[in-house]
């Protein structure tokens, strides 16, 4: 992983998890795993977030919230699905109120399987997300440059 242009801000949202994966996400922030060594700042504000980390499948209550959070995040952004429930719906997939994994409602960039996902796997997913975010930023900047030369408007890379 190369040098980052700025500290990435990370937003963690629980779609409908059993809390198992959320405990592992919390473990990543402790000195043992220390995810902040990558310069990451944990935020509760979608308007400031670059990376959305979601645990749990999507149910009828969380669907609109997840869509809203995603739409409020500035472009470019990266979504990481943590745990098999967030990846596919997992063991809750056939429940009456579960739609499925996160990608049933918003685009997902990185999938971290596991039940629960281990902190090492979560950190690996976040490091991949950081590399993808840098690539998206470069692509986005190139699009903006080319659009400004042509007098056009650039919409988000994910829109
Ligand atoms: S993947 Fe396992 S630990 Fe994580 S939310 Fe689903 S059931 Fe819970």
Backbone angles phi, psi at 158, to 5 degrees: -95, 0
Per DSSP, 141 falls in state H
- The answer on pLDDT for 6 being more than 80 is no
**pLDDT of amino acid 151:** 76
Question: What's the CA-to-centroid distance between 132 and ligand 1, angstroms?
Answer: 25
CB of 20 closer than 6 angstroms to any ligand 1 atom: yes
pLDDT in tens, 92-127: 999 999 999 999 999 999 999 999 999 999 999 999
Say if 74 falls within a structural domain.
yes
The pair of three-digit structure tokens given for residue 56, joined into one six-digit string? 């749990």
**pLDDT of amino acid 154:** 62
> Is 89:57 a contact under the CB 8 Å cutoff?
yes
Most confident of 35-39, 45-49, 137-141, 146-150: 45-49
CB of 57 closer than 6 angstroms to any ligand 1 atom: no
The ligand 1 atom at the shortest distance from the C-alpha of residue 55 is 5
The pair of three-digit structure tokens given for residue 79, joined into one six-digit string? 């979504």
pTM given for the model = 0.90
Q: Whole-angstrom Cα distance, residue 159 to residue 156?
A: 5
- The answer on pLDDT for 158 being more than 60 is no
Say if 113 falls within a structural domain.
yes
Say if 1 falls within a structural domain.
no
pLDDT in tens, 18-67: 999 999 999 999 999 999 888 888 899 999 999 999 999 999 999 999 99
**pLDDT of amino acid 111:** 98
Q: Read off the pLDDT of each residue in 122-151 and give the average, rounded to a whole number.
A: 90
How many structural domains does the chain have? 1
Domain region containing 95: 9-150
**pLDDT of amino acid 4:** 67
> Is 83:25 a contact under the CB 8 Å cutoff?
no
CB of 88 closer than 6 angstroms to any ligand 1 atom: no
Q: Whole-angstrom Cα distance, residue 116 to residue 154?
A: 39
Backbone angles phi, psi at 151, to 5 degrees: 75, 20
Nearest alpha carbon, ligand 1 atom 5: 17
The pair of three-digit structure tokens given for residue 107, joined into one six-digit string? 């685009």
Say if 159 falls within a structural domain.
no
Say if 158 falls within a structural domain.
no
- The answer on pLDDT for 2 being more than 70 is no
CATH code for the domain of 81: 3.40.50.12280
CB of 101 closer than 6 angstroms to any ligand 1 atom: no
CB of 87 closer than 6 angstroms to any ligand 1 atom: no
Q: Whole-angstrom Cα distance, residue 104 to residue 57?
A: 9
Q: Whole-angstrom Cα distance, residue 91 to residue 86?
A: 11
Say if 142 falls within a structural domain.
yes
Indicate the SS3 state at residue 1.
coil
Q: Read off the pLDDT of each residue in 134-143 and give the average, rounded to a whole number.
A: 90
Say if 81 falls within a structural domain.
yes
The ligand 1 atom at the shortest distance from the C-alpha of residue 91 is 7
For the chain, what's the residue count? 159
Q: Whole-angstrom Cα distance, residue 117 to residue 132?
A: 20
The ligand 1 atom at the shortest distance from the C-alpha of residue 116 is 3
Say if 28 falls within a structural domain.
yes
Q: What is the dihedral of CA 23, 26, 30, 36, to 10 degrees?
A: 150
Question: What's the CA-to-centroid distance between 82 and ligand 1, angstroms?
Answer: 9
């Amino acid at each position: 992983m190369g040098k980052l242009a700025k500290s990435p801000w990370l937003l963690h949202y629980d779609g409908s998890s059993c809390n198992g994966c959320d405990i592992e996400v919390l473990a990543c922030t402790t000195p043992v795993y220390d995810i902040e060594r990558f310069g990451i700042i944990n935020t509760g504000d979608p308007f400031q977030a670059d990376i959305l980390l979601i645990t749990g499948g999507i149910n009828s209550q969380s669907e609109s919230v997840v869509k809203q959070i995603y739409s409020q995040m500035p472009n470019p952004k990266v979504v990481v699905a943590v745990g098999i429930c967030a990846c596919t719906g997992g063991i809750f997939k056939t429940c009456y109120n579960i739609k499925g994994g996160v990608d049933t409602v918003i685009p997902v960039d990185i999938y971290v399987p596991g039940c629960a996902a281990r902190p090492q796997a979560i950190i690996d997913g976040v490091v991949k997300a950081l590399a993808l975010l840098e690539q998206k930023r470069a692509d986005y900047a190139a699009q903006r440059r080319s659009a400004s030369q042509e007098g056009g408007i650039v919409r988000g890379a994910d829109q």
